[in-house]
């Protein structure tokens, strides 16, 4: 038995070359307690892994790269091999926790095993404990990661009784020769499946048409970049190495909403305005504003519960020289115009096209797209649940995302997650980024204070 990867997931595998590491992270900070120690976490995983079967699957590569990899059950799977235990050095504050996350996010996941890890971290100050969930981007996107996280959590201190957790898992047998023979015998069915996963249209499924669609995707990407100037050259785009640093910032959701009401923007607009203020403090002024790439989910209700990526992207200019009210208004006008635009649909087509062809050709397109300086950073905002969650009775206090650096000249990403009345920023950066990620985090704190104080006094 084997499960096909979506074209977007294939593209994320092809992207992981050189210093690019496509692991997605989530840092969860809890009240300390026996329910978040190593044995309790492993036990909870084993009780609920049947709800996320992809976590017991690994990649199976075809010989000589003649076909795309597929998901197959890992016959050697043991949960303990994916759960790591760590203790922070004194004093166990934010700086020590951020440093640990940066080191953990520097290491690539082992493609010979299921593409995830969970780090159980103790030694935190103020009666806290933490989990770091780390998954390959091919396994799950931002919205699906929320679904995965809530699988091991509960909406109340009392754990839910979930059926099926005590049934022993039996891996399905995978016959590589039979699978390749079936692919060779059914090219039409295979082509239709790939295209339905991306464009959701009935297209001719010949190899020639697949190549034509790839060419169209590349041409469309070039046309989109021609229609707008290249992003300015900043220190954020000097190139990256294999190692990462991480920093966290927190805010209150009610204060963010108050800024939006005062100055006419959504929560997302205000968060982008805060990132804009951070860049205005950290970067030298340029003739043109820095550009953020904003992932946009195109997952439908039918996609809920499925693993894999359903995303598109848009580019947003960040007016670093504008005063806070004008900054929010300018970003609100831009994002409103982009919603449901051709740019969103084009982004989905490009992501899909890069997975329609054999891996060797796919990687060429991904690298070509990465060579265009269309943006200066990625800002990914995912709305999370607004009620508290618990792990074995310990309350989840904070949840910070970590978004991978991609392409190789992308030195900073800003992941944002709202949860239980809070807004949590995770800044992942190249280890040698200038300015350092700690300096950027302090600039973001100042920018948030400027927005909230200004709106309160307006």
- Written as six digits, the tokens of 321 are 């020289």
pLDDT at 126: 94
Structural domain that includes position 408 = 202-384+394-456
Euclidean distance between the first and the last CA atom of the chain, given in angstroms as a whole number: 62
Residue where a domain terminates, one of 114, 134, 164: 164
The helix/strand/coil state of 401 is strand
In a domain, 430, yes or no: yes
- Compute the average pLDDT of residues 365-373: 53
In SS3 terms, 221-286 reads as HHHHHHCCCCCCCCHHHCCCCCCEEEEEEEEEHHHHHHHHHHHCCCHHHHHHHHHHHHHHHHCCCC
pLDDT at 335: 83
In a domain, 197, yes or no: no
pLDDT at 204: 32
**Are residues 292 and 423 part of one domain?**
yes
pLDDT at 36: 95
- Written as six digits, the tokens of 130 are 């933490």
For residue 157, what are the contacts with CB-CB under 8 A and spacing of at least 6?
Answer: 390, 393, 395
Residue identified by tokens 């220190």 is: 235
369-395 as b/e, with b when 16 or more CB fall inside 10 Å? bbeebbbbbbbbbbbbbeebbbbbbbe
- Written as six digits, the tokens of 455 are 């709106």
Rounded Cα distance, 142 and 146, in Å: 7
**Are residues 407 and 259 part of one domain?**
yes
**Are residues 357 and 236 part of one domain?**
yes
Rounded Cα distance, 234 and 250, in Å: 26
Residue 209's CB is within 10 A of a number of other CB atoms, namely 14
**Are residues 151 and 296 part of one domain?**
no
pLDDT at 374: 76
453: pLDDT strictly greater than 60: yes
| pLDDT tens digits, 297-330 | 555 555 555 555 455 667 889 999 999 999 999 9
Rounded Cα distance, 323 and 301, in Å: 39
What percentage of the chain reaches a pLDDT higher than 70?
A: 71
Handedness of CA 202, 204, 205, 210 (dihedral sign): negative
pLDDT at 167: 67
- The H or E element spanning position 48 is helix 38-48
For residue 438, what are the contacts with CB-CB under 8 A and spacing of at least 6?
Answer: 245, 247
**Are residues 322 and 266 part of one domain?**
yes
Residue where a domain terminates, one of 164, 189, 211: 164
Q: Structural domain tally of the chain?
A: 2
329: domain CATH number?
Answer: 3.30.559.30
Q: Is 343 left (phi over 0), alpha (psi -120 to 50) or beta?
A: alpha
**What confidence tier does 203 reach under pLDDT thresholds 50, 70, 90?**
very low
**Are residues 105 and 214 part of one domain?**
no
- Angle value at C-alpha 106, between 100 and 109, nearest 5 degrees: 110
Residue identified by tokens 């989530």 is: 26
pLDDT at 144: 59
| pLDDT tens digits, 44-88 | 988 888 888 888 999 988 776 667 788 899 999 998 999 999 999
Rounded Cα distance, 428 and 260, in Å: 26
Q: Identify which of 174, 168, 255, 209 has the alpha carbon closest to the alpha carbon of residue 447.
A: 255
- The H or E element spanning position 352 is helix 342-353
In a domain, 190, yes or no: no
In a domain, 425, yes or no: yes
- Written as six digits, the tokens of 78 are 């043991």
**Are residues 207 and 122 part of one domain?**
no
Backbone angles phi, psi at 394, to 5 degrees: -90, 130
Q: Identify which of 160, 48, 159 has the alpha carbon closest to the alpha carbon of residue 393.
A: 159
**Are residues 214 and 144 part of one domain?**
no
Handedness of CA 241, 243, 245, 246 (dihedral sign): positive
Answer for the pair 145, 118: CB distance below 8 angstroms, yes or no: no
Answer for the pair 206, 213: CB distance below 8 angstroms, yes or no: no
Cα 175 to Cα 55, 239, 422: the distances in Å are: 20, 42, 48
- Compute the average pLDDT of residues 358-368: 44
| pLDDT tens digits, 119-178 | 999 999 999 999 999 999 888 755 556 556 667 888 889 988 877 766 676 766 544 444
| pLDDT tens digits, 286-305 | 788 999 988 765 555 555 55
If you compute the radius of gyration of the chain from its CA atoms, what whole number of angstroms results? 22
189: pLDDT strictly greater than 90: no
**Are residues 365 and 298 part of one domain?**
yes
452: pLDDT strictly greater than 90: yes
**Are residues 138 and 25 part of one domain?**
yes
Residue where a domain terminates, one of 164, 183, 213: 164
**Are residues 58 and 11 part of one domain?**
yes
347: pLDDT strictly greater than 60: no
**What confidence tier does 12 reach under pLDDT thresholds 50, 70, 90?**
confident
The helix/strand/coil state of 296 is strand
In a domain, 180, yes or no: no
- Compute the average pLDDT of residues 354-366: 42
**What confidence tier does 337 reach under pLDDT thresholds 50, 70, 90?**
confident
In a domain, 177, yes or no: no
Answer for the pair 314, 356: CB distance below 8 angstroms, yes or no: no
Rounded Cα distance, 197 and 15, in Å: 19
In a domain, 345, yes or no: yes
pLDDT, the chain, mean: 80
**Are residues 405 and 355 part of one domain?**
yes
pLDDT at 26: 92
72: domain CATH number?
Answer: 3.30.559.10
């Amino acid at each position: 038995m084997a499960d096909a990867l979506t074209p977007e997931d294939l593209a994320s595998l092809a992207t992981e070359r050189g210093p690019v590491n496509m692991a997605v992270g989530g840092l969860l900070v809890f009240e300390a307690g026996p329910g978040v120690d190593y044995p309790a976490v492993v036990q909870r995983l084993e009780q609920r892994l049947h709800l996320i079967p992809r976590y017991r699957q690994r990649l199976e590569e075809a010989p000589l790269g003649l076909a795309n990899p597929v998901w197959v059950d890992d016959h050697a799977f043991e949960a303990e091999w994916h759960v790591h235990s760590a203790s922070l050095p004194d004093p166990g504050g934010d700086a020590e926790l951020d440093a640990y996350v940066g080191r953990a996010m520097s290491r690539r996941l082992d493609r010979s095993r299921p593409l995830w890890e969970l780090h159980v971290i103790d030694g935190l100050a103020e009666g806290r404990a933490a989990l770091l969930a780390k998954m390959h981007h091919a396994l799950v996107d931002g919205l699906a990661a929320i679904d995965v996280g809530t699988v091991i959590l509960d909406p109340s201190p009392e754990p839910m009784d979930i059926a099926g957790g005590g049934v022993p898992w039996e891996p399905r047998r995978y016959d590589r020769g039979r699978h390749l023979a079936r692919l060779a015998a059914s090219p039409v069915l295979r082509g239709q499946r790939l295209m339905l996963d991306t464009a959701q249209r009935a297209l001719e499924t010949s190899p020639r048409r697949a190549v034509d669609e790839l060419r169209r995707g590349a041409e469309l990407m070039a046309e989109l970049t021609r229609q707008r100037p290249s992003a300015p050259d900043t220190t954020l785009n000097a190139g990256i190495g294999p190692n990462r640093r991480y920093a966290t910032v927190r805010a209150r959701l009610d204060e963010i909403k108050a800024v939006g009401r005062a100055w006419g923007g959504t929560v997302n607009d205000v968060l982008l305005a805060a990132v804009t203020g951070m860049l205005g403090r950290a970067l030298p002024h340029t003739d043109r504003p820095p550009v953020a790439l904003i992932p946009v989910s195109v997952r439908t209700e039918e996609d809920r519960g499925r693993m894999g990526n359903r995303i598109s992207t848009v580019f947003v200019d960040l007016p670093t020289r504008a005063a806070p009210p004008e900054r929010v208004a300018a970003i609100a006008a831009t994002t409103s115009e982009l919603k449901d635009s051709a740019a969103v649909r084009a982004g989905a087509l490009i992501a899909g096209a890069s997975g329609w062809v054999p891996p060797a050709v796919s990687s060429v397109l991904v690298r070509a797209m990465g060579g265009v300086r269309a943006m200066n950073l990625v800002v990914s905002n995912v709305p999370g649940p607004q009620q508290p969650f618990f792990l074995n009775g310990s309350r989840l206090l904070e949840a910070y995302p970590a978004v991978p650096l991609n392409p190789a000249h992308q030195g900073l990403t800003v992941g944002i997650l709202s949860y239980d009345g809070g807004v949590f920023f995770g800044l992942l950066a190249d280890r040698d980024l200038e300015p350092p990620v700690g300096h950027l985090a302090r600039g973001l704190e100042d920018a948030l204070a400027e927005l909230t104080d200004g709106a309160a006094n307006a």
